[in-house]
């Protein structure tokens, strides 16, 4: 595209269960929030008619907001009782899974710069799904698509620069700063990590005001409400164990033990290659 200055591509993904990296098996049974139930309740909370129908169906069929599931079903999909009851009314799929129908899919088309004109533009995103900006958030800065998709960066990376990354899972751009020199499988690299300011509350980082949705509805440091970009599903994102979040969140949930070594997001890059290769 454009005389070799840009290229368009998609990145299909495949997900598999890895037993050696898991503490249990897909046959394990867990009791947790029934995500489809909570999602449906949230989506139609302002529609009195549909809300009443859903409430009556749940009572008649003894459906609550908690359920017992096989891990494999939660991952790959199962027929949900509530979705089965309302699928013909709302024309929706009656199956749900965290990775249901996701294998072999991609998160959209990326148009990125090749670095032909400027090596520092290598892999930088120009458009995602035909748009140069997002439209979910309430400020121009928060809707910017900055940096690469995190798979690679420009060559000759300096310790003083910020690495900008757009994450379609987070529905926003973030950045990482140099933390230390590392060695990964014998290859020297630089470790970059997102500072706490990236997900900080407005008192610490006023630039995050646009991520408070609806406007003014701010959750505190370390949390991001992504329901606006997840079809109104009530999804709040955080680091594992609420790492770098306000203390109250970890204190309110039994078993949380946030620590840097296990829960920090990091990017190790080889800064001197012809491209900024991500080591891990």
CA distance linking residue 151 with residue 107, whole number of Å: 14
- Amino acid 108: pLDDT: 95
Kindly state the tokens that stand for 174.
């973030």
92 and 220 together in one domain = no
Q: Which domain holds residue 59?
A: 19-96
Distance CA 107, CA 10 (A): 8
| pLDDT of 274 | 54
Q: Which DSSP symbol is given to 13?
A: B
What pLDDT shows up at residue 277? 62
Q: Are 114 and 142 in the same domain?
A: yes
Residue 166's DSSP bridge partners are 173
- Identify whether 87 is part of a domain: yes
Walk along the chain (280 residues) and give the pLDDT tens digit of each residue: 888 999 999 999 999 999 999 989 999 999 999 999 999 998 888 899 999 999 999 999 999 999 999 999 999 999 999 999 999 888 899 999 999 999 999 999 999 999 999 999 999 999 999 999 999 999 999 999 999 999 999 999 999 999 999 999 999 999 999 999 999 888 889 999 999 999 999 999 999 999 998 888 899 999 999 999 988 888 999 999 999 999 999 999 999 999 999 999 999 998 876 565 665 5
d(CA 267, CA 279): 8
* 38 three-class SS: helix
pLDDT of residue 58: 94
Task: Quote the pLDDT of residue 276.
Answer: 58
Question: What is the secondary structure of 195-218 as a DSSP string?
Answer: -GGGG--TTT-GGGGGGSSSTT--
Of the residues 43, 71, 96, which one is the last residue of a structural domain? 96
Residue 113 and residue 192 in one domain: yes
Indicate whether 165 and 34 sit together in one domain.
no
Number of compact structural domains in the chain: 2
pLDDT of residue 280: 55
pLDDT of residue 233: 85
- State residue 89's pLDDT score: 85
pTM recorded for the entire structure: 0.88
- The reply to whether 225 and 255 lie within a common domain is yes
Q: Specify whether 120 is located in the same domain as 250.
A: yes
How far CA 31 is from CA of 35, 60, 70, 170, 237, in Å, comes to 12, 21, 9, 26, 20
């Amino acid at each position: 595209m454009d005389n070799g200055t840009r290229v368009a591509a998609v990145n299909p993904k495949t997900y598999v269960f890895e037993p050696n990296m898991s503490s249990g098996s897909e046959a394990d049974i867990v009791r947790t929030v029934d995500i489809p139930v909570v999602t449906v309740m949230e989506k139609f909370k302002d529609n009195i008619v549909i809300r009443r129908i859903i409430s009556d169906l749940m009572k008649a069929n003894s459906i609550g907001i908690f359920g017992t599931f096989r891990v494999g079903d939660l991952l790959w999909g199962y027929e949900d009782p509530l979705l089965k009851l309302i699928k013909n009314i709302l024309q929706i799929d009656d199956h749900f899974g965290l990775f249901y129908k996701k294998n072999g899919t991609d998160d959209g088309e990326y148009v990125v710069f090749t670095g032909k004109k400027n090596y520092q533009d290598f892999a930088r995103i120009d458009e995602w799904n035909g748009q140069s900006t997002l439209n979910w958030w309430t400020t121009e800065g928060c809707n910017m698509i900055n940096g690469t998709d995190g798979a690679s960066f420009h060559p000759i990376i300096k310790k003083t620069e910020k690495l900008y990354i757009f994450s379609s899972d987070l529905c926003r751009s973030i950045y990482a700063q140099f933390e230390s020199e590392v060695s990964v499988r014998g290859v020297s690299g630089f470790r970059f990590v997102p500072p706490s300011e990236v997900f900080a509350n407005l008192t610490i980082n006023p630039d995050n005001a646009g991520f408070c949705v609806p406007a003014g509805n701010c959750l505190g440091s370390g949390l991001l409400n992504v329901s606006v970009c997840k079809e109104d599903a009530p999804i709040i994102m955080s680091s594992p164990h609420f790492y770098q979040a306000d203390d109250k969140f970890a204190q309110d949930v039994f078993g949380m033990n946030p620590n840097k070594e296990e829960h920090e997001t990091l990017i190790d890059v080889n800064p001197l290659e012809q491209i900024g290769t991500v080591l891990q």
